[in-house]
Amino acid sequence: MAETDVDGADAVVARRLGFLTRPLRALVNAPHLLVLLILAIWVGCSLTYAVLEGKGPIESLWWGIVTGSTVGYGDFYPSSTTGRAVGAVLIVSMLVLVPIAIGHVIANLVFDKESLAVATVLEDVHERIDRMEHLTLASLEAQHGREWLDQRLAEYDATDAARTDVAEQMLALFTPSLDPTDPPGGTR
């Protein structure tokens, strides 16, 4: 099979799975929504267990905690096939979603001292550059006059705008296409 055939097959699979991966990526990157979904699945499965197995709400919520956390004490368990399916949905969804939520919590607890130090130094550098620019402009205005300075600044702005346009054109070459027929990652 040629490489282009494999690339085409990859693109087809990626497009067909996109309806699953896009919402999943959105969910994974929205921690509040993720926690709400975890709670909704837990409560929903617990109440479904209560209805299917004829249990009370407190007993069902306990079953949901024990089953969702995969501790499985065995004090309560579903006797019907449908109840077992609900338990399986609860177990699998908690095994997938809870670690992602825990990852968000841990990521927010980690404090990177090195990044903070770099940010502080960069802020200081920006302040110094701003001061130097202000002093340079004041000195040039005092030496040559305001009209001369305004003319030079206008020339600089025109040159900078031309450079910016070229830079934006270069970046556009690397921007992914929004065309749904294009394979992910662009063409090779």
Higher pLDDT, 50 or 168: 50
Q: Is the pLDDT of residue 185 over 70?
A: no
CB 83 within 8 A of CB 53: yes
pLDDT at 21 over 60: yes
Residue 117 pLDDT: 84
Domains contained in the chain, number: 2
In a domain, 37, yes or no: yes
pLDDT tens-place string over residues 63-117: 999 999 988 888 888 899 999 999 999 999 999 999 999 988 888 787 777 877 8
Domain end residue (candidates: 109, 140, 165): 109
* Average pLDDT of every residue of the chain: 83
* Same domain assignment for residues 101 and 140: no
Rounded to the nearest 10 degrees, how much is the dihedral formed by the CA atoms of 88, 62, 28, 115?
-140
The residue among 87, 109, 131 that closes a domain is 109
Q: Are residues 73 and 121 in the same domain?
A: no
Q: Are residues 53 and 91 in the same domain?
A: yes
Whether residues 10 and 101 share a domain: the answer is: yes
pLDDT above 90 for 27: no
Task: Look up the domain containing 152 and give its range.
Answer: 113-174
> Which of residues 52, 75, 109 is at a domain's end?
109
Residue 68: CATH number of its domain: 1.10.287.70
pLDDT in tens, 35-68: 999 999 999 999 999 999 999 999 999 999 999 9
What b-and-e string marks burial along 117-130, b requiring 16 or more CB atoms within 10 Å of the CB?
Answer: eeeeeeeeeeeeee
